[in-house]
Amino acid sequence: MRRLVGVELTRLRWRRAVQVLVAFALFVPILVFAITAWNTRSYSDAEMAEFQTQVDRDTNSIETQQSLKDCLDNPDDFGVPPGEDVQTTCEEWTLPQLDWYAFREPLNLDTERDAGSGVVVIALLAVLFALAGTTFAGHDWNTGSMSNQLLFEPRRGRVWLTKGLVVTLASGAIAAVVLAAYWTGLWVLAGARSLDPSGHSVWEGYQQGIRGTALAALCALCAYAVTMLFRSTVVTLGVLFGLSILAPILLALIAFPDNERWMPQTNIAAVMLDGTTYYGEMVCTSTTDELGNEIQECGDSTEHKLTLAGGSAYLLGLLALAAVPSVLTFRRRDVP
């Protein structure tokens, strides 16, 4: 078994398409990090002085002063709440503010983890390693080398397991290194900018990296299993497209309670973010007025929590749906 793992690892390492995908997996996070660092850089004193000059110029313009006068004369038309100081509220609403121009947000590790570059890097790695998993198996079927491999190792179950193990471990190892390096880079960048990268935020970033590693490895294994089932990379890409694009659209069109719970992106978000929130149908109640007319009142949509365990169970279920028939058909069907 160990020798077979070594052979498959060598074949995976020398597959040109896999090499390209791994190169992207290493380069794209660097690019994302550079973009994040650039977009969160602080403003220089010269830039802040220029913004202040623009604020003063726009504040003294005829249009701005007229808007302020109209607000002061007719605060109700501008929606000023009763009891609020009209002068202060109108100035706040109509006069230009410095943050209208200096809108760039400083680096925030919590934001990067929950809705920023951390999520983007995990999603990119998951896609790239899914492509690596399908091209690794698809090449064997397209070239007919699968039959030659079975001449040296006729136990098909072991062959399937070894290939899947190599794809999973290689994807997980690379994803772990990339995500650990990415969050270390963000930590160092925050410290270099004299921000406060608290240990709590950094540790949660590394925890997201662990979950992202597992997600990337699972995507690679699932793509490999589907390719071994259909024996075609093209079909696998179609299945993945349908699962990621068409399935959510179909579930949205089918009206049944709590359908958001079964959408793939909801469960993926639960894994990446250690739980997520989604919203169900709007709650409506019917009442009858004094004249006997029925009045329907609708409130806010029902809020639901999806835990990490719930999202993981969903994704593992999808993996089982792909892996079980893949193994069974590989053991029984003829290999050309």
pLDDT digits (tens, 9 = 90+) for 117-142: 999 999 999 999 999 999 999 998 98
The verdict on 71 and 176 lying in the same domain is no
pLDDT at 201: 81
Q: Report yes or no on 113 lying in a domain.
A: yes
Q: Report yes or no on 127 lying in a domain.
A: yes
Q: Report yes or no on 244 lying in a domain.
A: yes
The verdict on 34 and 68 lying in the same domain is no
The verdict on 222 and 143 lying in the same domain is yes
Q: Report yes or no on 159 lying in a domain.
A: yes
**Parallel/antiparallel/unpaired status of strands 294-306 and 276-288:** antiparallel
The verdict on 170 and 216 lying in the same domain is yes
The verdict on 94 and 191 lying in the same domain is no
- Using a pLDDT cut of 70, give the percent of the chain over it: 92
Residue 331 has pLDDT above 80, yes or no: yes
CA distance 41 to 88: 32
The verdict on 144 and 179 lying in the same domain is yes
The verdict on 154 and 75 lying in the same domain is no
pTM score, whole prediction:
0.86
What average pLDDT does range 8-34 have in this prediction? 94
Q: Report yes or no on 13 lying in a domain.
A: yes
pLDDT at 247: 79
Query: Domain of 96?
Result: 50-100
The verdict on 32 and 68 lying in the same domain is no
The verdict on 177 and 201 lying in the same domain is yes
Q: Which of 113-127, 154-168, 237-251, 258-272 has the lowest mean pLDDT?
A: 237-251
Contact 218, 315 (CB under 8 A): yes
Q: Report yes or no on 168 lying in a domain.
A: yes
The verdict on 211 and 94 lying in the same domain is no
The verdict on 7 and 128 lying in the same domain is yes
Q: Report yes or no on 258 lying in a domain.
A: no
Contact 294, 287 (CB under 8 A): yes
Residues 6+ apart with CB under 8 A from 193: 42, 106, 107
HEC string of the chain equals CHHHHHHHHHHHHHCHHHHHHHHHHHHHHHHHHHHHHHHCCCCCHHHHHHHHHHHHHHHCCHHHHHHHHHHHHCHHHHCCCCCCCHHHHHHHHHCCCHHHCCCCCCCCHHHHHHHCHHHHHHHHHHHHHHHHHHHHHHHHHHHCHHHHHHHHCCCHHHHHHHHHHHHHHHHHHHHHHHHHHHHHHHHHHHHHCCCCCCHHHHHHHHHHHHHHHHHHHHHHHHHHHHHHHHCCHHHHHHHHHHHHHHHHHHHHHCCCCCHHHHCHHHHHHHHHCCCEEEEEEEEEEEEECCCCCEEEEEEEEEEEEECHHHHHHHHHHHHHHHHHHHHHHHHHCCCC
pLDDT at 284: 62
Q: Report yes or no on 139 lying in a domain.
A: yes
pLDDT at 308: 95
pLDDT digits (tens, 9 = 90+) for 53-112: 999 999 999 999 999 999 998 888 888 888 888 888 998 889 998 888 887 888 999 999
The verdict on 88 and 179 lying in the same domain is no
Q: How many domains does the chain have?
A: 2
